[in-house]
Amino acid sequence: MIRMPAPDEAVLARRSEIVDALRRIVPGEGVIDSEPERRAFECDGLTAYRQLPMVVVLPETTAQVSEILRYCHANRIKVVPRGAGTSLSGGALPLQDGILLGLGKFKRILDIDVENRCIVVQPGVTNLGISQAVQAQGLYYAPDPSSQIACTIGGNVAENSGGVHCLKYGLTTNNVIGVELVMMDGEIIRLGGKHFDASGYDLLGVLVGSEGMLGVVTEVTVRILPKPPGARALMIGFATIEGVGHCVAEVIATGIIPGGMEMMDHLAIEAAEAFVHAGYPLDAAALLIIELDGCAAEIDHLIAAVEAIAGRHGATSCRASQSEEERLLFWAGRKAAFPAVGRLSPDYYCMDGTIPRRQIGTVLQRMEEMEAKYKLRVANVFHAGDGNLHPLILYDANRPGELQRAEDFGNDILRLCVEVGGVLTGEHGVGVEKRDLMGTMFNDSDLAQQTRLKCAFDSESLLNPGKVFPQLCRCAELGRVHVHAGNLRFPDLPRF
Amino acid sequence: MIGWAMAENHPLEIVAGGSKRALGRPPRTDHQLDVSRLSGIVDYEPAELVMTARAGTPMADIQRQLADQQQMLAFEPPDWRKLLASNAEPTLGGVLACNLSGPRRLRAGAARDFFLGFAAINGRGDAWKAGGKVVKNVTGYDMCKLQAGAFGTLSLLTEVTLKVMPKPETSCTLLLHGLADDVAIPTMLRALNTPHEVSGAAHLPSPAARRSGVDAVANGLGGVTALRLEGPAPSVIYRAAELEKLLGHGDRLDAAASERLWTEIASVESLVAGRERYLWRLCPTPARASAVVQAIRARLVSADTLFDWGGGLVWLNLDAEDAGPDGGAAIIRAAMGQVGGHAMLVVAPEALRAATPVFEPASATMDALQCRIKQGFDPGGILNPGRMWEGR
């Protein structure tokens, strides 16, 4: 298990004073103090890790967020921001000596601006809520993480969330165009807006995916797109994993970027089929679902092209959806893959590495060897288009040692992803979960530079500490400058 | 080298091809660091949609390799050599450092959106890296975004990895004739709000249109509004017909003429005239583009314009005399303040680029934050000091 930073006893001793101070900023029920109520916030989607927060505060205005942060900054109190708490990497795991800052009350849609193709919302609006707000106009918000019913746009910004459509339509970072941000010292700034690009450093770009460590977002402007006029899905069975790999590679090399391209292995197919009866081919080693969207002329053209490619790579079955109901049925199994796999086993652990796609065969082979080593089974679902793997490790937390074995297995999978040229996380974030693996991808120099950026936003390291970086940030040490002959440039600037 | 420069306190101007030396503020440096020999494609896997190259690789080499595989840089990097009066060779590192994107930016995203990872050297002389070599990655802060558009002031890029995309099978451009600016902008926005995937939306007011090298544009009457469609042939044909039903019939440019026109729009050729001129690049809230131009033109009558990105990008060419001693900065920035967005002075003599803020001035809080960031990367102020802001 990953260790969190040791709590600050001095802060813990001042708990009741801190609660009172927060009550002065957020009156009424916005400050949650009692243990049973705080319990509801003790974990996020990474449920193996739990910690009761010192106190929970649920502000309703940007001014309150600013005051809370200003107070915490002045009193050196740690803050963990939280959206809906659906993070799969422990990004919103509370701290024993920290305030949990929930943005759940920021639920308003502020401005639907069809002309400028954007919508301004508060961070507690759900991902799906954005698309629903503009569906009457034939528009939608493209990134669609599978938790989109529950997850909030504020959390999406923190984690740079993806989804099945991101190969074609991009991640959160490619679709967020502005934010209002409160920094740890309480200063409120605006980054971006309804216009294109930034002037000066692209701080919006670096904020997205910063896992709640650079600031607290209180307003978000995102790009909305016209809905494609149509979409059809192909469900293609393969006798071998290699066949899938080659088929995906050729689809892309041919110049086709499908709206979605998902792979499931045999165990995932079995689980999903038993759960939703989508008509998946149970005899296949692997299944590929490819969605093509656009106008009818384009879809028909591309379906024919993909069918031909699949045929060349040993597809054992191939069905194109003939109706919207059928398309949704094809997807139903994939979208329910996690709960479906959950029925096979009391617990499962969902991993999230990205690999160069050409390595898929090697990686799945090595994972099979690991299954034998750790005596645990793995079901694989895979965003095949962008190489993002989601191995689901099946285990039983009630059996002594199995959780630890599952974690060790997961870590081995992620190390393997890095070894073959990939990365630790494609869309779930580093959080607590992968924090101690950062060294497999980055050396000290790389991490020091990342930490220096953190210091520019939060010099006391009060915002979501203990996440992402294996070592707590020490801004003063990182700031050391070697000076030759006493010539320091900008000698009047403060060094910290 | 950078370690030496830091220790001995010698600021460096980073140069590879040198095609964009006239972009931004003139850096105050006594030495140049030539990285043009950091050149060559390191790895290119078309089926992975990923290319890794050294930062000094000429764009011409990158484009050639991609074209051989029917792929492209989807952000359509523009060629600004004519604009900046340079014959030098643009390089990949320069394009990314300046975050330069062409007409397809409005649909596909900017250079920063395709920047997956890099190796670099910071102002301390430390080699470091960030990002990865796969298309989907959220491991650590997204430092690529910060490097893109930092004009080499944070770190020297040595190797970069980019997401590349397939080239569309074909393209076609619809031309609508005779629209005034305040009709053309809403027309473009309307087209962008259809599901027909318009991948370029530009409006050339009459003077700019007459200077076009594309006959159908030059020979038209009044302003010319151009809408580009790309994709598989049956799809382009269908969507073109649908858009014409909605917006009216004009001319259609085939793929070759379409390419000529969008290359010309990207490089702002129709505004590059021989006289002394100051060229501004405005990114306003798109729907307010013609309003902002009207407000500016009320005070600066010489303003000659070109609209791209459906109004999200406005090029404004001013007569030096009309613009006044600040190059028109005060009037332009006041007008932009009314609509939201930012303005950059792109073409002006060195003295003016040193005296007038080239980039949009930031609030005190933002300025302090950017200053702290610069400190974290380059505490000695060695890398391109003065390029973006005076004194750092």
Residue B124 with chain A: CB contacts under 8 Å: 481-482
Minimum Cα–Cα distance from A230: chain B residue: B195
* DSSP SS3 for B220: coil
User: Chain A closest CA to B188's CA: distance in Å?
Assistant: 10
- Shared-domain flag, residues A157 and A235: no
Which class for A283: exposed (0-12), middle (13-18), buried (19 or more C-beta within 10 A)?
A: exposed
| ipTM confidence score | 0.96
Q: Does A187 touch chain B (CB under 8 A)?
A: yes
- Number of residues in chain A: 496
**Cβ within 8 Å, pair B129-A204:** no
* CA–CA separation, A209 and A15 (whole Å): 31
User: Chain A closest CA to B384's CA: distance in Å?
Assistant: 14
* DSSP SS3 for B119: strand
pLDDT surpassing 90 at residue B237: yes
Does residue B379 belong to any structural domain of this protein? no
- Shared-domain flag, residues A489 and A416: no
CATH (domain of B250): 3.30.70.2190
Q: What integer best gives the mean pLDDT of chain A?
A: 93
Residue B50 with chain A: CB contacts under 8 Å: 356
pLDDT tens digits, A300-330: 999 999 999 999 999 999 999 999 999 999 9
Does residue B187 belong to any structural domain of this protein? yes
User: Chain A closest CA to B215's CA: distance in Å?
Assistant: 30
Q: Does A250 touch chain B (CB under 8 A)?
A: yes
* DSSP SS3 for A332: helix
Average pLDDT over residues A184-204: 96
- Shared-domain flag, residues A220 and A296: no
pLDDT surpassing 50 at residue A209: yes
- Shared-domain flag, residues B85 and B127: yes
- Shared-domain flag, residues B241 and B293: no
Average pLDDT over residues A341-358: 92
pLDDT tens digits, B4-51: 887 788 899 999 999 999 999 998 888 999 999 999 999 999 999 999
Does residue A357 belong to any structural domain of this protein? yes
Q: Does A339 touch chain B (CB under 8 A)?
A: no
Please give the pLDDT value at position A494: 34
pLDDT tens digits, B117-169: 999 999 999 999 999 999 999 999 999 999 999 999 999 999 999 999 999 99
CATH (domain of A422): 3.30.70.2740
Q: Does A433 touch chain B (CB under 8 A)?
A: no
- Shared-domain flag, residues A350 and A313: no
Please give the pLDDT value at position A479: 57
> Among A360-374, A466-480, B17-31, which is the least confidently predicted range?
A466-480
Nearest CB partner across the interface for B234, out of A301, A426, A445: A301
Please give the pLDDT value at position B274: 62
Secondary structure percentages of chain B, helix, strand, coil, to 5: 35, 25, 40
- Shared-domain flag, residues B185 and B138: no
User: Chain B closest CA to A121's CA: distance in Å?
Assistant: 17
Q: Does A344 touch chain B (CB under 8 A)?
A: no
- Shared-domain flag, residues A76 and A120: no
pLDDT tens digits, B369-384: 999 999 999 999 999 9
pLDDT tens digits, B258-279: 999 999 999 999 887 666 889 9
* DSSP SS3 for B155: strand
CATH (domain of A238): 3.30.70.3450
Q: Look at A476 and B323; give whichever has higher pLDDT.
A: B323
Q: What is the DSSP string of B195-214?
A: TT-EEEEEEE-HHHHHT-SS
Distances (CA, A) of A366 to A288, A373, A374: 21, 11, 12
Nearest CB partner across the interface for B145, out of A206, A481, A493: A206
A:475-494 residues touching chain B, CB 8 A cutoff: 478-479, 481-482, 484, 487-490, 493
Please give the pLDDT value at position A473: 67
Q: Note the helical H segments in A256-378.
A: 266-276, 296-312, 324-335, 337-342, 360-374
Does residue A364 belong to any structural domain of this protein? yes
Q: Which of B390, B326, B35, B182 is nearest to A490 (CA)?
A: B390
Residue B286 with chain A: CB contacts under 8 Å: 115-117, 194-196
Average pLDDT over residues B84-104: 96
Minimum Cα–Cα distance from A477: chain B residue: B376
Distances (CA, A) of A176 to A128, A154, A179, B77: 15, 11, 8, 22
CA B270 to chain centre: 16
Distances (CA, A) of A357 to A143, A362, A435, B73: 21, 10, 24, 20
How many CB atoms lie under 10 A from the CB of residue B338? 13
Domain final position from A68, A102, A136: A102
Does residue B369 belong to any structural domain of this protein? no
Minimum Cα–Cα distance from A482: chain B residue: B7
CATH (domain of B317): 3.30.70.100
Interface test with B, best of A248, A489, A492, A496 (most B CBs within 10 A): A489
- Shared-domain flag, residues B28 and B142: yes
**Cβ within 8 Å, pair B141-A167:** no
Please give the pLDDT value at position B4: 81
Does residue A199 belong to any structural domain of this protein? yes
| Structure-token pair, residue A306 | 């993909």
- Shared-domain flag, residues A130 and A142: yes
- Shared-domain flag, residues B94 and B32: yes
Across the A:B interface, residue pairs with CB atoms under 8 Å apart total 292
- Shared-domain flag, residues B196 and B150: no
pLDDT tens digits, A152-187: 999 999 999 998 889 899 999 999 999 999 999 999
Nearest CB partner across the interface for B137, out of A116, A297, A423: A423
User: Chain B closest CA to A446's CA: distance in Å?
Assistant: 5
Does residue A168 belong to any structural domain of this protein? yes
**Cβ within 8 Å, pair A422-B132:** yes
Q: What is the DSSP string of B250-292?
A: -EEE-HHHHHHHHHHHHTTGGG--SS-EEEEEEEE-GGGHHHH
pTM score = 0.95
User: Chain A closest CA to B109's CA: distance in Å?
Assistant: 7
Q: What is the DSSP string of A168-220?
A: HH--GGGTEEEEEEE-TTS-EEEEE-SSSS-SSS-HHHHHTTSTTSS-EEEEE
Minimum Cα–Cα distance from B99: chain A residue: A197
Q: Does A74 touch chain B (CB under 8 A)?
A: no
Domain final position from B210, B236, B269: B269
- Shared-domain flag, residues A188 and A221: yes
How many CB atoms lie under 10 A from the CB of residue A118? 25
pLDDT tens digits, A98-122: 999 999 999 999 999 999 999 999 9
How many CB atoms lie under 10 A from the CB of residue A492? 5
pLDDT surpassing 60 at residue A483: no
**Helix axis angle, B233-247 relative to A296-312, nearest 10°?**
170
**Cβ within 8 Å, pair A449-B128:** yes
| Domains in chain A, number | 5
A:372-411 residues touching chain B, CB 8 A cutoff: 383, 386-388
User: Chain B closest CA to A29's CA: distance in Å?
Assistant: 33
Among all chains, which residue has been given the structure tokens 């869309």? A427
- Shared-domain flag, residues B93 and B113: yes
Does residue B73 belong to any structural domain of this protein? yes
Does residue B382 belong to any structural domain of this protein? no
User: Chain B closest CA to A36's CA: distance in Å?
Assistant: 34
Residue B148 with chain A: CB contacts under 8 Å: 202, 205
Q: Does A439 touch chain B (CB under 8 A)?
A: no
Interface test with A, best of B30, B139, B172, B344 (most A CBs within 10 A): B139
Does residue B380 belong to any structural domain of this protein? no
**Cβ within 8 Å, pair A196-B110:** yes
Does residue B376 belong to any structural domain of this protein? no
**Cβ within 8 Å, pair A173-B231:** no
Domain final position from B227, B251, B269: B269
- Shared-domain flag, residues B175 and B160: no
Q: Does A359 touch chain B (CB under 8 A)?
A: no
- Shared-domain flag, residues B149 and B180: no
* CA–CA separation, A430 and A440 (whole Å): 13
pLDDT surpassing 50 at residue A490: no
Q: Look at A147 and B218; give whichever has higher pLDDT.
A: B218
- Shared-domain flag, residues A282 and A354: no
CATH (domain of B143): 3.30.465.10
| Domains in chain B, number | 3
**Cβ within 8 Å, pair A354-B140:** no
Does residue A329 belong to any structural domain of this protein? no
User: Chain A closest CA to B18's CA: distance in Å?
Assistant: 21
Interface test with A, best of B141, B188, B282, B313 (most A CBs within 10 A): B141
pLDDT tens digits, B349-359: 999 999 999 99
A:106-165 residues touching chain B, CB 8 A cutoff: 113-117, 138-139, 159-160, 162
Minimum Cα–Cα distance from A228: chain B residue: B195
The pair phi, psi for residue B355, each rounded to 5°, is -95, -30
Interface test with B, best of A69, A114, A115 (most B CBs within 10 A): A115
Nearest CB partner across the interface for A116, out of B47, B130, B287: B287
Residue B7 with chain A: CB contacts under 8 Å: 482, 484
CATH (domain of A164): 3.30.465.10
Nearest CB partner across the interface for A427, out of B138, B234, B309: B138
- Shared-domain flag, residues A122 and A203: yes
Q: Which residues pair with B345 in a beta bridge?
A: B280
- Shared-domain flag, residues B97 and B196: no
Does residue A118 belong to any structural domain of this protein? yes
- Shared-domain flag, residues B98 and B208: no
Range of the domain at A150: 109-226
Domain final position from B239, B269, B299: B269
Distances (CA, A) of A430 to A144, A379, A438, B345: 19, 22, 8, 40
- Shared-domain flag, residues A372 and A415: yes
Range of the domain at B293: 273-355
User: Chain B closest CA to A252's CA: distance in Å?
Assistant: 6
Minimum Cα–Cα distance from B342: chain A residue: A199
Does residue A330 belong to any structural domain of this protein? no
- Shared-domain flag, residues B22 and B152: yes
- Shared-domain flag, residues A15 and A117: no
Q: Tell me if B96 sits within 8 A of B158, measured CB to CB.
A: no
pLDDT-above-90 percentage for chain B: 92
Does residue A158 belong to any structural domain of this protein? yes
**Cβ within 8 Å, pair A442-B140:** yes
pLDDT surpassing 90 at residue B2: no
- Shared-domain flag, residues A250 and A290: yes
Q: Tell me if B372 sits within 8 A of A456, measured CB to CB.
A: yes
**Cβ within 8 Å, pair B285-A194:** yes
Q: Does A202 touch chain B (CB under 8 A)?
A: yes
Does residue B225 belong to any structural domain of this protein? yes
